[in-house]
Amino acid sequence: MKKSVCILLLVFSFLVYLQSPVLAQARRFTPRGWQLMDLKKDSIYGASVNRAYSELLVGKKSKQVIVAVIDAGVDTAHEDLRGRIWTNPREIPGNEIDDDHDGFVDDIHGWNFLGGKDGRNISSDSYEGTREYFRLRPIYGDQTDSALIDPNKRKEFAYWLKLKEAREKDSIDQALEVTYLSEAVTQSTRADTLLRRASQKDTLYPKDIMSIPDSIAGPEKQKMLAVYKEFRIKPDQSLEDIIKEEKRYLQEAKDRLAALDVDPNAERRDIVGDDPDNINDNRYGNSNIAAGTPSHGTHVAGIIAANRDNGIGIDGITNNVMIMAIRAVPNGDERDKDIALAIRYAVDHGARVINMSFGKYYSPGKKWVDEAVQYAEKNDVLLVHAAGNEGKDMDLEMDYPNPMIESTKKMATNFITVGASTGGPDSLLAAGFSNYGQKTVDLFAPGVSIYSTVPGGGYQAFSGTSMAAPVVTGIAALIMEYYPSLTARQVKYVIENSVLRPTGVKVRVPGTKTKADFSTLSRTGGIANAYNALKMASTLKGERKLKETSTIKSRLE
């Protein structure tokens, strides 16, 4: 499954999991906004953001920071993001002219690399493994004997065999998913019928379900109430609405199964019209950064930047950032070319931090992404990346993008990889879905039941390393706001060396039934902590010497 998709977003996928006493125990430690809380003050493993504001930042002035969110798009009209959306000062809105001569027409709040010049947009794309499979199938077909392959191509042939094996497994998994979702729809429909009959109402809402006696429809009642509670579904959403969503996801699963035998590049050619294998074909897309359903990107943006002083919704990590929205992550796997160009766009337009809540396990264009990472490094821009949601040890399986520069075998100094933690208790501190790695994951951050902004002015709780990454991005931006002379490398140093390290805490290793010390799951062995980070930042002498405005201008000319 695609890692940037929040793993708790699909209601039906967790009907059984919701009943787990393990998850129920963890949920007691995750009140709304818990990522902002403090272990000492609130007895919860939050990131100590509120404590930082109340004890360290009172009366201090900050400098505005631009944060780029490379994601599935952002609802820039959300009430809690008002005044927090970056506007390109060198572009005149709506005149259909490239005023700043950067190659992007009317890029007022960012850019959409998944759009066409005619206004159409891609919402779902293929997976990278599928694209690679189709690329190499004409070359190797059903060949299985490496002895018959040109010695110079045996490395690629081994790669082909890996792709072929993965595709066969994926075909089985997709078929099983269709079967599972079909059963979920059947069960939900059955529950809806029984509950409507018990309540004698045609349409059921949470209050109606609660009024049904347990003696009449206890199991169905409790299951549906658990769904409403876990996903904070609005009181005006009926059970019928949930079933419609389930059916929509089922249809998407059927479409994915059918798409296994369809050219994975056909829609891209039709809508976007670029050559995805040519990095120099780089003037494509459109300015519609809210195309499709930008729930994921809007949620990420809210975690970072939701207004802290408007008395509504939620509080973000920061209080003086502008969100630059770059749409480059579809439902499916992002393209290396899009990500490389998105990073360069963010750097060229003044972003100091880039949030990257996405990832995949194949990267044929890694060279392009590596060069973009190095470009960001050269221009003092910090990259924050989500570790992924498969419960895997990333020391054993490489994830992309990553800080390892393939051409030099050196690690980029401006890259942070983030796993997801819970609020507690200690044994559940590592989120059960989070990827981890003592060498490859730098630290953990709150990523379970994070309540944030969604399109249309709403709010919802999502879980995933996609939520943990923007917590760290927000902390990085907060440091830059109050200590603007610190470089990206210094901010990375501060964040990683100020983590909260739970001492001697044994946790369930994600994706397994075994236990290990929490400190062994990441490079730092800790959880991002804004309070500690700001205290440490105050002791460092800033090394940042770039003159921001003139540097940005020169990159665009």
Q: What is the CATH number of the domain that holds 424?
A: 3.40.50.200
What is the full DSSP assignment across 460-501? Answer: EEE-SHHHHHHHHHHHHHHHHHH-TTS-HHHHHHHHHHS-B-
Q: Are 110 and 132 members of one domain?
A: no
pLDDT tens-place string over residues 151-170: 999 999 999 999 999 888 88
For residue 325, what pLDDT is reported? 98
DSSP state at residue 336: H
Q: Is the dihedral of CA 408, 409, 413, 417 positive or negative?
A: positive
Mean of the pLDDT values across residues 460-472? 97
- pLDDT for residue 150: 94
Q: What is the mean pLDDT of residues 50-70?
A: 97
DSSP string, 164-220: HHHHHHHHHHHHHHHHHHHHHHHHHHHHHHHHHHHHT-SS--HHHHHTS-HHHHHHH
- Alpha carbon separation from 480 to 63, 377, 415 (Å, rounded): 8, 16, 16
Tally the domains of the chain.
2
Indicate if 304 and 452 belong to the same structural domain: yes
pLDDT at residue number 230: 59
Together in a domain, 361 and 412: yes
Does residue 17 sit within a domain?
yes
> At 557, is the pLDDT very low, low, confident or very high (cuts 50, 70, 90)?
low
Q: Are residues 96 and 139 in the same domain?
A: no
Dihedral sign of CA atoms 76, 6, 362, 352 in order: positive
- Among 259, 284, 308, give the residue marking a domain's end: 259
310 shares a domain with 227:
no
Token couple for 71: 């994601």
443 found inside a domain: yes
Domain boundary among 225, 259, 293: 259
Strands 404-405 and 410-411: antiparallel
Residue 447 clears pLDDT 90, i.e. is over it: yes
pTM: predicted TM-score of the whole model, two decimal places: 0.86
Cα distances (angstroms) measured from residue 351 to each of 62, 144, 322, 480, 516: 16, 48, 9, 11, 38
What is the Cβ-side half-sphere exposure of residue 282, based on CA atoms within 13 angstroms? 15
Q: 89 and 192 in one domain?
A: no
Judgement on whether residues 115 and 237 belong to the same structural domain of the protein: no
Does residue 143 share a domain with residue 100?
no
Its sign, for the CA torsion 399, 461, 382, 40, is negative
Sheet with 321-327, side-by-side order of all strands: 110-112, 321-327, 65-71, 353-356, 382-386, 415-421, 443-446
pLDDT at residue 5 in the model: 34
346 with 464, same domain?
yes
User: Residue 375 pLDDT > 70, yes or no?
Assistant: yes
Q: Does 539 have pLDDT greater than 70?
A: yes
Q: pLDDT tens for residues 102-127?
A: 999 999 999 999 999 999 999 999 99
Domain hosting residue 159, numbered range? 128-259
Tell me, what's the pLDDT at 28?
54
Task: Fill in the amino acid letter for 406.
Answer: E
Given pLDDT bands bounded at 50, 70 and 90, which one contains residue 15?
A: very low
Q: Is position 486 within any domain?
A: yes
- Over residues 247-259, the mean pLDDT reads 85
Residue 312 lies in a domain: yes
Domain boundary among 259, 288, 323: 259
Q: Is residue 117 part of a domain?
A: yes
Q: Does 19 reside within a domain?
A: yes
| 1 within domain boundaries | no
Question: Does residue 471 fall inside a structural domain?
Answer: yes
Please report which confidence band the pLDDT of residue 260 belongs to, taking 50, 70 and 90 as the band edges: confident
